[in-house]
């Protein structure tokens, strides 16, 4: 049995971590889900996330979050890295000392990547 997939090896989407076209963080708070645009620095394999100081809500240490880095507008250009993980305190990376942010590290539990430009048939392993 075969199926068509958009999923790719997250390593193939490494350029998204180097260029960071846009990144956002999602977490739960009292008011429901919170989507927050963030600064992302990928350093030594660590996902360092800068949340603007003036953000009204921030995730608590150890809280579950999803970090999304995505790009593209047209169907075959849509690509993304979706990282579910836990937040840990972190210090500002040297690359982003100027940014007025609170820094946290997202420690990944599960990472998924997709690229609609690579739609292809694969063996269905369900």
Partner 1 sequence: MNVDDPAMLDILRRCMVARIATLSCNGRPSINPLYFVCQRGRIWLGTSEWTLAARDVQADSRVSVLFEVEQHMCSHRVLRISGQASVRTEQKVQRSYALRVARKYLLTPGGIGNYLAHLRQFPSMHQYHAQSAEKGRACVIEVIPQTAEWLEL
Q: Nearest distance from residue 26's CB to partner 1, in Å?
A: 4
Q: Nearest distance from residue 99's CB to partner 1, in Å?
A: 9
Which is nearer to partner 1, 78 or 107 (by Cβ)? 78
Q: Nearest distance from residue 101's CB to partner 1, in Å?
A: 9
Which is nearer to partner 1, 29 or 43 (by Cβ)? 29
Query: What is the binding site for partner 1 (CB under 8 A)?
Result: 3-6, 21-22, 24-28, 31-39, 52, 55, 64-66, 68, 70, 72-78, 80, 82, 117, 119-121
* CA proximity to 112, closest of 16, 20, 21: 16
Long-range contacts for 72-79 (Cβ within 8 Å, ≥24 apart)? 72/116, 75/116, 76/116, 76/117, 76/119, 77/116, 77/117, 78/114, 78/115, 78/116, 78/117, 79/13, 79/16, 79/113, 79/114, 79/115, 79/116, 79/117
Which is nearer to partner 1, 44 or 123 (by Cβ)? 123
Please state the separation of Cα 81 from the chain's center in Å. 6
Q: Nearest distance from residue 61's CB to partner 1, in Å?
A: 16
Which is nearer to partner 1, 43 or 96 (by Cβ)? 96
């Amino acid at each position: 049995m075969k199926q068509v997939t958009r999923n790719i090896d997250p390593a193939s989407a490494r350029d998204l971590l180097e260029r960071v076209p846009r990144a956002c963080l999602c977490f739960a708070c009292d008011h429901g889900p919170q989507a927050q645009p963030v600064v992302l620095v990928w350093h030594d394999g660590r996902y360092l996330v800068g949340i603007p100081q003036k953000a009204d809500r921030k995730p608590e240490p150890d809280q579950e979050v999803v970090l999304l880095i995505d790009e593209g507008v047209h169907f075959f250009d849509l690509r993304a890295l979706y990282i579910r993980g836990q937040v840990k305190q972190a210090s500002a990376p040297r690359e982003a000392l100027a940014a007025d942010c609170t820094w946290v590290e997202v420690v990944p539990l599960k990472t998924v990547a997709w690229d609609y430009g690579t739609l292809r048939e694969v063996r269905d392993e369900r």
